[in-house]
Amino acid sequence: MNIKLVYGDDIRWAKISYNCDVLSLRGIISDRFLLSRAVLMKYRDQEGDMVTVTTNEELRWAESASGQTGSVKLYIVEVSLEQDPFCDHVRRQKQKQKLQTSSSCTDDWILEFSQLFKNYVGFNSDDYSNLYELGMKLYTDAMEDTITSEESQELFDNAVDKFQTMAALALLNVGNGYMSKARKRADFEENFSHESLTAHIKDLYEWAQIEYSKAGQMSNESIKVKPDFYEGLLAIGHQQFEQAKISWYYAIGTKTDLQKWDHKQVRFGFYL
């Protein structure tokens, strides 16, 4: 269906579908004339009166009033914001379309909040269609002023100390995991021969030594991250004690010749 739109001296044609709703027509008018102002749609009836169209039923009446011409003629009249029931909706739709085609991702609640801000606080959000870019600019400016201030240096020192502690704790917990793995219980089968049992114990011992060494590496790394991290120092002492203890048990259990056995690690671990 063809429709003629008259806005002052500007007259334009538009094509709409049959049974087009009034809200969609209001959006078409806004697109045709690039309107951001509040307007009303009117048509002239058979008695020559200018009748306002605000509902789908009234739009059907306007179509019927076109008579044999076959086209509807609507006059676009500027009014106050309170008189236009569709202005806010059209503006929000335009803002939403613009934001959806941009690189930023903005949820519907931001647009709704901007409308509430405008209605109840008096801030004119229509001047800033891209609220995301405005907010990021204000945020960047504020952050720059804050970061470069003298007062912020002490806060950053505290933040660095906290992050170092968190990193050291993370490494210490990794070491604790290796310590727990090293304490794995040895399972023996009843039909193990003496040679198989000895080989199995040796494998477990070497495996436990590797896990204890990993735990010690993690504890040492935590001290590198935070030199005054006393929990890391305690963990190193505990790891070396446990490693020395299992070495002593292995030597006794395998009846190693203690005169020839390298006992430096055990002595150092128990000394700690």
DSSP string computed for 56-118: HHHHHHHHHHTGGG-SEEEEEEE--GGG-SSHHHHHHHHHHHHHHHSSS---HHHHHHHHHHH
Which runs of E-coded beta strand occur in the chain?
Answer: 2-7, 10-15, 39-44, 50-53, 72-78
Residues 148-192: pLDDT tens digits?
A: 777 778 877 888 888 888 999 999 999 888 888 887 766 656 666
pTM exceeds 0.75, yes or no: no
Contact residues for 3 (Cβ-Cβ < 8 A; gap 6+): 13, 14, 15, 16, 25, 71, 72, 73, 74
**Dist CA 7 CA 33 (whole Å):** 8
* Tokens coding 185: 């219980």
Residues 84-139: pLDDT tens digits?
A: 887 777 777 766 666 556 545 556 656 666 666 666 555 555 554 455 566 677 77
Is the pLDDT assigned to residue 271 strictly greater than 50?
A: no
> Is 24 in a helix, a strand, or coil?
helix
